[in-house]
Each structure stands twice: as C-alpha cells, then as structure tokens.
Amino acid sequence: MRKVAIVGTGHTDFMSDAPKTEVEMFCEAGTEAMQEASVVPKDIQALYCGNVFGDFAEGQGMIQSYIANELGCHHVPATRFEGACASATLAIRDAFMWVASGFYDVVLVGGTEKATAMGTPLATRTFAMGSDAKYEFPAGITFPAYFALLANLYAYKYEVAMERLREQMSMISVQSHFYGTKNPHAQFKHKEITMDQVSKGFVVASPLRLLDCCPFSDGAAVLVLASEEKAKQLTDKPVYITGIGQASSPKMSAQAPFLPRIRARELSVKQAYDMAGIGPEDIDLCELHDCFSIASIIAAENMGFAENGKGGELWEKGETKIDGKIPINISGGLKAKGHPIGATGASQTCEVVRQLRGDMAAEGRQVEGAKTGLVDTLGGDGIISNLILQTGV
C-alpha cells in the first residue's frame, strides 16, 4: 500500500436554512479544497460524496454525478456513500484505499447535506431511519431516544448518580459551545451557553434535554487526497492518513451484550490504532461524534481515553480542553459547529487536518504542537468509522 495524504481542505459555513443547494455547497467547499491543493478539475480522477437525505430534503437522488460535472470534473467516476451520520467518513476511508492501492493518484472526497430543509418533524422521522425499521421503529425510537436509553443504562450500570451524570453532560455542551464561538464556520458561533441553560431546557427524551442534542444543520466539507509522491509536489504540509477503521453494529436490542459500550467503535478504533502503530495515549486531539452529550462520554471510553464509567471525569477535570490531556472537539463539535450529517465526517477530518498544519492560531484555538489526531464518526445506531491523521511521518 502507498502512503496517502490530505493536501486540500474546504469547509462551508454550517447553518440553519442555508441559501444554497446541496450541490452548490459541495462545489463551494470542493473548489476551496482544490485551490488549497493547487489542483484543477482535470486532475481529479474520482469523486466520493457522503449525502444522506438529499432525496427527502431536495428531492435529489444520485447527487454525486451532478456534483462531479458541475464542479468541472466531467465524467469522472462518482460514488455516493450512505452510512447515516458517518457517510463522509466511510467515503474518506474508501477514497484512501483507492489511492493507497495505486489505482488513483488524486481524488476528491467530502459530503453535503441540507437537513434543515426537511423541518424538525420530517427530519426526526428520517433520522430515525438509522434504526431498525421493522423491529424497533414501531416502538417509536428516535435518535435522541437511542442515546437517552443509553444514558439511563449508563447511570445504572456504572453506578454514576444521575445528578452527577446530568452535570457532566451539561459541562460537555457548555465546553462545545465555548469553542464553537471561536470557529467562524460554526452554526452557533455567536452562542455561548451556561450549565443552567442546559439543565433547564425542555426534555427531548429523558434524561436528554434540548441542549444535550446537536442541531439539524446544512453545510458541506471536502478534501483532496493524493498519493505521497503527488502530495510532495502539491504541498509542503501534507497530513497523512495513517490509520483507518470501520465496523458495523446490529439493531440496538441485539447490541445487548455490550451496551452502553458501542462495541463496533471499540473494534473500529482498534483497527485504526493498530494500523498506525499507536494507542490512545498518542492522540494529541480528537474530533468525536457528540451527536448527544452522553455520546461524547461513551465515545471517549470506547476509544480508550477513560475507563468505562469514568468518561465524564475527563470533562470535569478539564482534560478535554485545548491545553488538556486529550483536547476534544475544539471545533465546537457537532453540538455547536453543527451536524449536516452527510458532511460531518469530512468536517471533522478538515478540522483535524487544519489543527495538524497549525492553521488555527488566528482563530485562537490551536492545539499547540499537535502531530496526531483522531476522527470518530458514528452513523445511526452503529456504523462507526475512525481515521488517524498524522504530520511529520
């Protein structure tokens, strides 16, 4: 296998009610990434796109083909990835393999989504399609309900008092909004929140309240991937993808032997750690899938940053802050940056790349000396993909 680098990044503003179409958002982020990488459309050999609800949001299926051609990448093979919220990370993992194998030298990969066009009731319905339609949706499962079930199970199984877990969850949302105000692309770039606001919001699915939940969002993020040889011609700051992982879960009830652990994440991240030859102690920053506050705690444990039942202590002790032991979601995370689901994994990856290149000083949120970053994306109730990114390797 050849080494593969990320040589260009593009990221639109994340927001509600975007004035652009899904194709337009992808193409704006795509041209930004191509300019950064000094490539033009004819250099792009294939395109990979995460997009989940274009069919429902805009009545647009097979968006990838239109994106490729509007962007000027005429007739290149274009493939859409659907893995709910993990779609773009699956796309990046596959794009990596096509370049690593030697089949392509330069590819474009990203995601786009316009979730707010659906409105909350339809979006709640379509997001629930990331659960088992025949055996679990009939009981009224929603995506917040999935994590609410995990939160109550977590409190019971690990004997963490609900009052304390409630406080930890609030801290996570407060921290995410704090860093979100430093991210010019964040949906909530103007909105800091308090512990009190989180704990008094209306209940979506007990014990999760409004500010425990990420918003519905619109936006796109795109990357240019290149082989090592090509990358050296294009940039003096290549960021290499040194580890990849992906794993699947069964329906929620069938995950019983492991819950509230998400076993697929433990397996996926191990693949990525083993491939890169590193462990959780080597990670300088992590963008993890904080679709709900409790999801952050479970993810941090699954990835080895804390023992099971102790993930919340990372936030209590400030270890997840920019100068802490394991800085987490210094972008604002899904909670404050926003969660345009088909784009989320590309956004997380874009964020880590820019941190590893040292680009974030101007925004006042550079993780000093970061060399190794971890991307963690969860789709529905259990498609997981992880990426390890490194500089100076």
Partner 1 sequence: MEYKLSFKEYHKALMKNKLMGLKCKECGTVTCPPQMSCSSCTGFDLDVTELSGKGKITTYTTVYVAAEGRESEAPYIIVLVELEEGPWIMGNLYDLDPSRASLDLIGRPVQMGTRIFPGDKYSDGPAARPAFRFAD
Residue (151 or 374) nearer to partner 1, CB: 151
Residue 19 in contact with partner 1, rule: CB under 8 A: no
DSSP string, 302-343: HTTSS-TT-HHHHHHTTTTSTTSSS-B-TT-HHHHH---HHH
Among positions 1, 40, 97, 139, the unique one binding partner 1 when judged by CB under 8 A: 139
State the CB neighbour count (10 A cutoff) for residue 369: 7
Residue (237 or 261) nearer to partner 1, CB: 261
Cis check: omega of the bond before 238, within 30 degrees of 0: no
Task: Give the x/- contact pattern for partner 1 in 182-221, rule: CB under 8 A.
Answer: --------------------xxxxxxx-------------
Q: How far is the CB of 288 from partner 1 (least distance, A)?
A: 22
Q: How far is the CB of 7 from partner 1 (least distance, A)?
A: 41
Q: How far is the CB of 256 from partner 1 (least distance, A)?
A: 4
Among positions 19, 59, 75, 140, the unique one binding partner 1 when judged by CB under 8 A: 140
- Which residue do the tokens 């433990």 mark? 266
Residue 367 in contact with partner 1, rule: CB under 8 A: no
Residue (7 or 149) nearer to partner 1, CB: 149
Burial of 121 (0-12, 13-18, 19+ CB in 10 A): exposed
d(CA 95, CA 197): 41
Integer-rounded Cα Rg, in Å, for the chain is 19
Applying CB under 8 A, the site for partner 1 has a residue count of 42
Task: Give the x/- contact pattern for partner 1 in 148-177, rule: CB under 8 A.
Answer: xxxxxx-xx-----x---------------
Among positions 141, 224, 286, 330, the unique one binding partner 1 when judged by CB under 8 A: 141
Residue (98 or 143) nearer to partner 1, CB: 143
Residues 6 or more apart from 365 whose CB is under 8 A from it?
A: 179, 182, 183, 322, 330, 331
Q: With contacts defined by CB under 8 A, name the span among 2-10, 82-90, 251-259, 304-312 that binds partner 1.
A: 251-259
**Active-site residue flag, 214:** no
Whether the CB-CB separation of 212 and 198 falls below 8 Å is answered with: yes
Please provide the size of the chain in residues: 393
d(CA 72, CA 39): 12
Cis check: omega of the bond before 250, within 30 degrees of 0: no
Residue 258 in contact with partner 1, rule: CB under 8 A: no
73, 85, 214, 350: the active-site residue: 85
**Active-site residue flag, 339:** yes
Among positions 41, 69, 129, 167, the unique one binding partner 1 when judged by CB under 8 A: 129
Q: How far is the CB of 192 from partner 1 (least distance, A)?
A: 24
Residue 317 in contact with partner 1, rule: CB under 8 A: no
Residue (131 or 348) nearer to partner 1, CB: 131
Please report the beta strands in the chain, taking only residues with DSSP state E, as ranges in sequence order: 4-11, 47-50, 78-81, 106-114, 203-205, 208-209, 218-227, 239-247, 285-287, 372-379, 383-390
Q: In degrees rounded to 5, what are phi and psi of residue 326? A: -140, 90
What is the 8-class DSSP label of residue 115? G
Provide the annotated active-site residues: 85, 339
Binding site for partner 1 (CB under 8 A): 120-122, 124-125, 128-129, 133-142, 144-145, 148-153, 155-156, 162, 202-208, 250-254, 256, 259
